[in-house]
Structure 1
Amino acid sequence: MFWDCYLFLSLIVYNSMSSYQKYDAVIIGSGPNGLSAGIFLAQKGKNVLIIEASSTVGGGTGTKQLTLEGFQHDVCSAVHPMGYLSPYMRTLRLEEYGLEWIFPNASVAHPLDTGEVILLKKSVEETAEQLGADKDRYIRLMQPLAKHIDWLMEDSMRPLGMVKHPFFMAQFGLKALWPAQTFANFYFKEEKAKALFAGCAAHSILPFDKFFTAALGLVFLATGHAVNWPIAKGGSTAIAAAMRKCFEAHGGEIQLNQKITDFGQLPAARSYIFDTDPFQLASIASKQLPDSYTNQLRKFNFGPGVFKIDYALSAPIPWKNKAALEASTVHLGGTLAEIAYDEKQVWEGHNPTKPYILMAQQSQFDPSRSPQGKHTGWAYCHVPNGSKADMTEVIENQIERFAPGFKQTILGKYTMGTADFQAYNPNYFGGAVTGGAADITQLFTRPVARLDPYSTPNSQIFICSASTPPGGGVHGMNGYFAAQSVWKNVLS
């Protein structure tokens, strides 16, 4: 009680320092979640300021000329099924603000050492046709999720307790709570279906023996049956540019190149929304929040990081099976057992020797990414948080395994280790690009356990980053729900 009174009085004093309280909300950070929160409140007619430390908005949705002249590379996020299917971002009609989506022929290609490539296609039946004895099992599993993809997106991307379709989600949950390896081995009989599922489940960046790792495998497969995973024309930065235009069109204000290290740097406002990781929130607002809460923030588990390479290439990636060129994303890692072993090693603090690799080939579908006749490649693997290892050789050896001659196509390359990612965006602590581990201890209670995960003990301070539900990804849902909390509790 004493602490609440103290905070209330201190904020009255702080706000009284300004003779005119200009802002209803100040948002620290302009990633997709900060922009989403800003758009929601600006559309409500509120005066909103976004403060960004960088010279550009967008956080992980950045595109730069990293290698050679004329080659445009996505610095972090590259392929965006969640962005396209996001229940909130779809309402923004970002196409009216210049965003153009490009759709490949398939979402995922998963090569095997046999020379076969399993393609995740929009059609459940066409995908299942590739899976041999698991054809009917796959259809029975995925058709209900594909049919109700809107329900799945709406409810799987909500905080706990806000489900709108409880019966459907209960049926999904009975499968989703399984460890991914247990689920795949129980449900499928042959390696092709198991491998396709494993490649999608590994987006969780968790070992496959943890509960709820089946969830992300199922969700990503389902998104592939809703839309062929799209890329943004011109680069992921186009998403941020469109969101900025939408925000400013509704009267929002942005200040760039303003790094906030102390709460006292912020202008007076009725509310403050942090699109930052928990550590930064604890540091910046240490005097405005109780020690008990900031201590919990500092215990947040970020999980593994990533090591990424951007390539300028002389030709398309020479996949052993050319069918792999049909997909925007290629999952490299071989079998379920191999991928499960690799993700377990990373979780336990070991750098992988045959890593699971996420690879994107954007220029295959977007000629604006590279000079005529040339191509870009984007590849990353998971590594322990804060790893200092140079994974270039092991990544390229793994690509060569499925694309012999790849090394001969390399014209230039640009590597980013865990420290580079954190320098690019401080939210990526130790190279963790998804906002923190989404294991059972943090899946529903991120960054700390609260009925309203976007709120803090200070009634004017909120958090909206990927470290809140529903976690990482360019979907803006964290910002949307955080802004709803601000609207309900402060601004309405």
Structure 2
Amino acid sequence: MGTPADVVVVGSGPNGLSAAVTCARAGLSVVVLEGQPTVGGGARTLDLGLADGVVHDVCSAVHPMAWASPFFHAFDLHARGVELLTPEVSFAHPLPDDRAGIAYRDLDRTVEELGVDGPAWRALVGPLTHRPADVVRVALGDKRSVPPGLLPRGGRTAARFGLGMLEQGARASSRRFRGDVAPALLAGVAAHAITPLPSMAAAGTSLLLTALGHSGLGWPIPRGGSGAIVEALVADLRAHGGLVVTGHQVRAGAQLPPARGYLFDTTPRALVEILGDRIPTRSRRALQRFRYGGGAAKVDLVLRGPVPWTVPEVALAGTVHVGGTRAQVAEAEAAVAAGRHATHPMVLLSDPAVVDATREVGGLRPLWTYAHVPHGSDVDVTEAVLAQIERFAPGFRDLVVAARCVPAARMAEHNPNLVGGDIAAGATTLRQMVARPTARWDPYAVGLEGTYLCSASTPPGPGVHGMAGWFAARHLLREVFDVREAPDLAP
């Protein structure tokens, strides 16, 4: 393809599309190149052929970051017809002996249900819940500068967030809690980081997502699936003259059309493979040192009814963390980090039909699950996932109509950014929270003029928030096109 453009974006995940929209809104000609037959990267909704009319989210399914993201706030998903449906329960965590932790969107109700540990829960996450915008400014910033508007007003919230990370990351069992339900609830959220527990990185993930779970739209599910977010981005891009080309894999620099600026929604590894020695040696070596983390194997299911959880309130949740006690979650994550398959793996589950009736077709509904596994595992974990859910929902197997597993080793086949099944686009370590993907002051620049990395391997990291693309595009606009003001994104 030789079509010239002002800006070429490689990869059409949420970050690539947010970067493309930002540049197109600045009046530039933009071409997006996507190697897959469909756009969206980690936010696609597809018919996998498991049951007529039943569609599945192939990567992300639940979107607390979408409503919290400053990019999507400016873009205004609601005004573009994207309906984010809010479950009554943001997340749930079944436990042995017919018990469960229930994180309602309502903080007060959660505190009441936690009983003796309710006040401690409020003390830990309440201040963050009441000022979520301040937490978001810290967590979804570029990790190099003080976010605009944070100081002095939001400094206290930022300090609470940091102290909470220190406390939760420093020890396996917080002294705040007397029972085992609240620690398990936090551990389930921390496990999204796919890293040994406890750790600072996992604690930051847990506090951010828990705070969002009790504020705003909680942990919402887009009506119709995650693809609705992608459709809104693509529609706006095309309305401003942008071009999206699918089925165009870029493996070498010679396959790029001429342009003044390039934005790569790819892994550092792919960027180096494409541009090779065009990247200065020092920068190239730094990018090559970027570490990838533990893996996830995807198991998509079709059910003939809702999951029969032993604790009925779990069925109100759009997201369920299936891992048992805090100690059991930590044991499973430790096994993954050591390169072993856990006997009872940590399973993340989403049942979109809980809030979206359109996802149920002819009495059949999709069930979205991930199991944490060692990086690059080629094991089919369907049986392990079924067994783990059955522990807390007897009779679950009888409802399964169809199942499909994508082992961690094959996750990159439908999204090259998921190296070895690493859905976080890089190991979630304290160092790579800050120096991501390298220690450069500009984390999006790669040492080659007019070329920027904008994937989840850059700050602020994983999640459907579009922030990495927005940040990188604004760097490109300033440095290459002398556009100083951020383009208006409103409909």
TM-score computed with the length of structure 2 as normaliser: 0.93
Structure-1 residue corresponding to 2:276: 286
Q: CA deviation at 1:184?
A: 4.5
**Take 1:370 and 1:378, find their aligned partners in 2: how far apart are those partners?**
13
- Aligned twin of 2:6: 24
Q: 5+ residue gaps in structure 2?
A: 483-491
Return the match for 2:380 from 376, 387, 390. Answer: 390
Aligned residues of 1:315 and 1:373 also touching (Cα < 8 A): yes
Asked if 1 retains the 8 angstrom alpha-carbon contact of 2:8 and 2:33, the reply is: yes
> What is the DSSP-based 3-state SS (H/G/I as helix, E as strand, rest coil) of the residue aligned with 2:91?
strand
2:355 to 365, 376, 385: 365
**Secondary structure of the corresponding residue to residue 67 of structure 2:** helix
Assess, with a 3 A threshold, how the Cα gap between structure 1 residues 161 and 291 changes in structure 2: closer, same or farther: closer
Q: How does 1:24-173 map to 2 (within 5 A)?
A: 24-66=6-48, 67-164=50-147, 165-166=150-151, 167-168=155-156, 169-173=158-162
Partner of 1:220: 209
TM-fit CA distance, 1:179: 5.0
- Residues in 2 aligned to 1:348 and 1:392: alpha-carbon distance in whole angstroms: 21
- Matched residue, 1:11: none
Partner of 2:189: 200
1:376 and 2:376 are equivalent in the alignment: no
2:30 is matched by which residue type in structure 1? V
Tell me the residue number matched to 2:487: none
The secondary structure found in structure 1 opposite 2:430 is coil
**Matches of 2:338 and 2:321, distance apart in 1:** 22
Q: TM-score if structure 1 supplies the norm length?
A: 0.93
Cα displacement (A) at 1:372? 3.3
Q: CA deviation at 1:251?
A: 2.1
Matching residue of 1:191: 180
Answer whether contact 1:108 1:120 (CA < 8 A) is retained.
yes
Among 321, 327, 332, the residue aligned to 1:337 = 327
Counterpart position of 1:235: 225
What amino acid sits opposite 2:116 in the alignment? A
Q: Is the 8 A contact 1:132 1:190 kept in 2?
A: no
Deviation per CA, 1:160-216, whole angstroms, max 9, x where unpaired? 232232523133212213454717422222101111111111111111133332111
Distance 1:22 1:70, change over 3 A: closer
CA RMSD of aligned residues (A): 1.6
**2:317 counterpart (318, 322, 327):** 327
CA contact (8 A) 1:181 1:208 kept: no
- Offset of residue 411 of structure 1: 0.6
Correspondence 1:175 to 2:157: no
| Distance across 1 between alignment mates of 2:127 and 2:80 | 34
CA distance in 1, matches of 2:219, 2:168: 25
What is residue 489 of structure 2 aligned with on the other side? none
Q: In structure 2, give the amino acid aligned to 1:94.
A: L
Which residue number in structure 1 is paired with residue 200 of structure 2? 211
- Distance in 2 between residues matched to 1:181 and 1:201, nearest whole Å: 13
Counterpart-to-counterpart distance in 1, 2:439 and 2:144:
13
What is the CA distance between 1:130 and its match in structure 2?
A: 1.6
**How far did residue 41 of structure 1 move?**
1.4
In the TM superposition, what whole-angstrom CA distance separates every residue of 1:24-62 from its partner, at most 9, and x where no partner exists?
211101100000111111111122111111122100111
Secondary structure of the residue aligned to 2:114 is: helix
CA displacement 1:276-296 (0-9 Å, x = unmatched): 001110010113202332222
Matching residue's letter, 1:266: L
Secondary structure at the aligned position of 2:402 is classed as strand
Instruction: Report the secondary structure of 1:99's partner residue.
Output: coil
In the alignment, does 2:394 pair up with 1:412? no
Residues 124 and 164, structure 2, Cα contact 8 Å, conserved in 1: no
Pair 209,101 (structure 1): closer, same or farther in 2 beyond 3 Å = closer
Distance 1:434 1:321 in 2: 31
Report the 3-state secondary structure (helix = DSSP H, G, I; strand = E; otherwise coil) of the residue aligned with 1:287: helix
The answer as to 2:331 corresponding to 1:349 is: no
Counterpart of 2:433 in 1: which secondary structure? coil
1:436 equivalenced with 2:426 (yes/no): yes
**CA shift for structure 1 position 83:** 1.3
Q: Return the alpha-carbon distance in structure 1 between the equivalents of residues 160 and 409 of structure 2.
A: 41
- Please identify, of 250-259 and 163-172, the stretch whose mean Cα deviation from structure 2 is larger: 163-172
User: C-alpha distance in 1, partners of 2:465/2:54?
Assistant: 26
Stretch deviating more after TM superposition (257-266 or 115-124):
115-124
How far apart are 1:152 and its partner, in Å? 0.8
1:105 shift after superposition: 1.2
Q: Is the 8 Å Cα contact of residues 42 and 251 (structure 1) preserved in structure 2?
A: yes
Contact 2:378/2:410, CA 8 A, preserved across alignment: no
CA distance in 2, matches of 1:312, 1:286: 43
How far apart, in 2, do the equivalents of 1:240 and 1:179 lie? 35
Structure 1 residue runs without a partner (length 5+):
1-17
Q: Which runs of 4+ in 1 moved over 6 A?
A: none
Deviates more, 1:170-179 or 1:32-41: 170-179
Query: What amino acid is the match of 2:45?
Result: T
Deviates more, 1:231-240 or 1:28-37: 231-240
Q: Distance in 2 between matches of 1:485 and 1:151?
A: 23
Residues 351 and 389, structure 1, Cα contact 8 Å, conserved in 2: no
Question: What amino acid is the match of 2:378?
Answer: K
Q: d(CA) in 1 for partners of 2:248 and 2:27?
A: 25
- Kept in 2: contact 1:78–1:236 (CA 8 A): yes
8 Å CA contact 1:113–1:402 kept in 2: the answer is yes
Opposite residue 451 of structure 2, the aligned amino acid is I
Moved more, 366-375 or 213-222: 366-375
